[in-house]
Structure 1
Amino acid sequence: MMDCIMISTAFLHDCGKGPMRHEDSLLAAGLGRRGIAVRYYTIKRIHRRQLPLGRDTFIAGDMDAMHGAMRQLGIPVPAPDDYPAALGEFLRRRVWTSTLGEVERALESGSTPPTFVKPADRRKGFTGVVCYSERDVAMLGNVSRRQRVRCSEVVRWVSEYRVYVVDRRVVSVGHYDGDPTVPLDFGVVEAAVDAYRRSGQAPSAYGIDFGVLSTGETALVEANDGYALGAYGIDADSYTELLMRRWDELLGSARAPGG
């Protein structure tokens, strides 16, 4: 287990009277074994910039919390890159960028088949959905039709896994959907991780989802940045190492005050 940064205090999300998130439970255990004091915050304190964040603090939470912490520290919020260009050959399906309005019109005219659609530029508005007709787009409500979306042809996943990577190393693999008896072709996974590293675009620590298609091929589902990452079948120490490693990298990108 590697040490990333000299952290004196870690901030985890306070769930109030509800149960602690699985991810926070893992972090509390992992941070405790590192001897790092844990304090808890509410999202209101993030929005009000009331947390004493600095280079000697670590924070974990959902996208809203993490982006608020980044803005407070002058860290540029990373743009989502679910389908990295360097990994196009591993998608095993057509993927393209459009707008929600263009997808709606194409479905209405019958010029496109059913399409999986999700936001391209931000993690809000709606979650990924398969649109079979323009009526499915209408069900998204008042979401702007000018919103950029990432589209992909619809495929059938038999099994899906999250692969956790820290500094080129696969530290864990967790199954999260489908048939757990259907394994990944790990040669494909290792080739993708290596290609991502060589591209120079990979974060220092991340999760990358792969699945097995109905054709039997192992394919990339999507890449996930490591600063706010769901935990599936990963142990506390590996999960803590991954998030701390990515946070260390993000702290290094912080702009100087007044810069």
Structure 2
Amino acid sequence: MISTAFLHYCGKGPMRHEDSLLAAGLGRRGIAVRYYTIKRIHRRQLPLGRDTFIAGDMDAMHGAMRQLGIPVPAPDDYPAALGEFLRRRVWTSTLGEVERALESGSTPPTFVKPADRRKGFTGVVCYSERDVAMLGNVSRRQRVRCSEVVRWVSEYRVYVVDRRVVSVGHYDGDPTVPLDFGVVEAAVDAYRRSGQAPSAYGIDFGVLSTGETALVEANDGYALGAYGIDADSYTELLMRRWDELLGSARAPGG
């Protein structure tokens, strides 16, 4: 049973929206909340264990996982089981290969984002090799996920806990354009049946200019932005995923 929760806060200025939600949700669960700085994660100064919960950004969460012997989950933004819901071509390449293809004119404008969690840049549409050059000294050997460029009219995050959709939050585009929830439910079911879905996660869907509802990307639930979700549902989601991750921790010396 979780007795203590650690939230990332430097002690100055406003708290992140996500941490404010968690502070409220954890408080209602009667769980003591303590705050930490990223320096304490890097120095392994937090008393983390099976009776503690922690939340923070990717850097903080990966540090906590390493301390506890939890294998860091591999990124899976475009799960294989959900390929039919993408409604666009998606592939893996390297930044150098994309740059050369754009320079030779053998590929159309391409959306590019890092394939690995330790991102060297944020996702960007590259219309020519000059756009790749604007990324600076990012290694051209870096693996990237690419997709053909489409126009999103509206985008939403769908929050899922143990196959249940607990919330849907709009985060970009026209909020009056709704999702086809039949598509969303079919995707959530397909992800569950694949056996690859985390116990709790966020999955982004949008409406294309064609009117189709399509998968934007999947997001693991251990470090997840909060859009239009209430404190209790958000807390439930992150705690459920953390409990699953704790169960994967290697025994000391293992």
With normalisation by structure 2, the TM-score equals 0.99
1:16 Cα offset (Å): 2.8
1:15 Cα offset (Å): 3.1
Q: C-alpha separation between the residues in 1 aligned to 2:10 and 2:2?
A: 23
Alpha-carbon displacement from aligned partner over 1:9-38 (angstroms, at most 9, x marks no partner): 000011331210000000000000000000
SS at match of 1:206: strand
SS at match of 2:47: coil
Range with greater deviation from structure 2 (116-125 or 142-151): 116-125
Q: C-alpha separation between the residues in 1 aligned to 2:162 and 2:12?
A: 37
Long gaps (5+) in structure 2? none
1:47 Cα offset (Å): 0.1
Range with greater deviation from structure 2 (59-68 or 8-17): 8-17
Alpha-carbon displacement from aligned partner over 1:105-148 (angstroms, at most 9, x marks no partner): 00000000000000112232001000000000001111100000
SS at match of 1:67: helix
Which stretches of structure 1, 4 residues or longer, exceed 4 Å deviation after superposition? none
Between the two proteins, the alignment pairs up a number of residues equal to 254
Q: C-alpha separation between the residues in 1 aligned to 2:10 and 2:109?
A: 38
SS at match of 2:66: helix
Q: C-alpha separation between the residues in 2 aligned to 1:156 and 1:11?
A: 39
Corresponding residue for residue 31 of structure 2: 36
Corresponding residue for residue 228 of structure 1: 223
CA RMSD of aligned residues (A): 0.5
Q: C-alpha separation between the residues in 2 aligned to 1:15 and 1:215?
A: 45
With normalisation by structure 1, the TM-score equals 0.97
Q: C-alpha separation between the residues in 1 aligned to 2:13 and 2:64?
A: 23
SS at match of 1:227: coil
Range with greater deviation from structure 2 (50-59 or 113-122): 113-122
Q: C-alpha separation between the residues in 2 aligned to 1:253 and 1:157?
A: 37
- Percent identical pairs in the alignment equals 100
Q: C-alpha separation between the residues in 2 aligned to 1:176 and 1:122?
A: 22
SS at match of 1:233: coil
Long gaps (5+) in structure 1? 1-5
Corresponding residue for residue 246 of structure 1: 241
SS at match of 1:46: helix
Q: C-alpha separation between the residues in 2 aligned to 1:20 and 1:121?
A: 28
Range with greater deviation from structure 2 (14-23 or 132-141): 14-23
Say if 2:48 is the partner of 1:50.
Answer: no
